[in-house]
A and B are shown apart, each in its own frame.
Chain A
Amino acid sequence: AIQMTQSPSSLSASVGDRVTITCRASQVIRNDLHWYQQRPGKAPQLLIYRASSLQSGVPSRFSGSGSGPDFTLTISNLQPEDFATYYCLQDYNFPWTFGQGTKVE
């Protein structure tokens, strides 16, 4: 199975900060990489699909980049509602695999 290694596992940030989260794939996954946000007690929400495409309705302060093996989620100008846990997902090969998550606190 493809391993998705996210870093860091947690980070401390303040409102207005620029935050970068990285996901490294253990093998080639093209751009079959997506980013999700999960707030406590809530279902995850798609932020970025195909590595760099912003999901409709998601604020433009979220952006994704990379083409393998390293992918990056950037949050510019962190807002109070952005304190959450973020996950990457590869759907290039079965079994699809999530990163272990990055908690922004």
Chain B
Amino acid sequence: EVQLVESGGGLIQPGGSLRLSCAASGFSVSNNFMNWVRQAPGQGLEWVSVIYTGGRTFYADSVKGRFTISRDNSKNTLYLQMNSLTAEDTAIYYCARDTMDVWGQGTTVTVSS
């Protein structure tokens, strides 16, 4: 079964760092481009980042320079390293495959003192 499972969310103080993980099963993250999408409480969807099969990465302006997307092919896992977190980063973070045809269940990040 094709599945994505996120983990790593939690409560973090402003200025802190967090790394999200997205474990894939039923397909290889190395053979697909992979995305992170987030949704702030009560708000719409915001694309965050993508990593292509060749390793090229792109980011939303709101996270550029603070977030880093990566993957570990041996673990078939996608990551999002988040630094210098602010309250505006509070959201449910989803990973999604390709044209977002497969989504994880999401992991919640709350940035608050």
Q: Which residue of B lies closest to A45 (CB)?
A: B103
Pairwise interchain contact B103-A100, C-beta atoms closer than 8 A: no
Pairwise interchain contact B47-A95, C-beta atoms closer than 8 A: yes
Check if A89 is an interface residue, CB within 8 A of chain B: yes
Q: Distance (Å) between the CB of B11 and the closest chain A CB?
A: 20
Pairwise interchain contact B47-A44, C-beta atoms closer than 8 A: no
Q: Give A87 to B37 CA distance when docked, in angstroms.
A: 13
Check if B1 is an interface residue, CB within 8 A of chain A: no
Count residues of A near B (Cβ-Cβ below 8 Å): 21
Pairwise interchain contact B58-A95, C-beta atoms closer than 8 A: yes
Given A43-B104, A43-B105, A43-B106, does the pair A94, B58 have CB atoms closer than 8 Å?
yes
Q: Distance (Å) between the CB of A58 and the closest chain B CB?
A: 10
Check if B72 is an interface residue, CB within 8 A of chain A: no
Pairwise interchain contact B45-A87, C-beta atoms closer than 8 A: yes
Check if B41 is an interface residue, CB within 8 A of chain A: no
Q: Give A96 to B50 CA distance when docked, in angstroms.
A: 10
Check if A46 is an interface residue, CB within 8 A of chain B: yes
Pairwise interchain contact A97-B99, C-beta atoms closer than 8 A: no
Check if B88 is an interface residue, CB within 8 A of chain A: no
Please report A residues at the B interface, Cβ cutoff 8 Å. 1, 34, 36, 38, 43-46, 49, 55, 87, 89, 91, 94-101
25 A–B pairs (Cβ distance < 8 Å), ordered by A: A34-B99, A34-B100, A36-B100, A43-B104, A44-B45, A44-B94, A44-B103, A46-B99, A46-B100, A46-B101, A49-B99, A55-B101, A87-B44, A87-B45, A89-B45, A89-B47, A91-B99, A94-B58, A95-B58, A95-B59, A95-B61, A96-B50, A98-B45, A98-B47, A101-B44
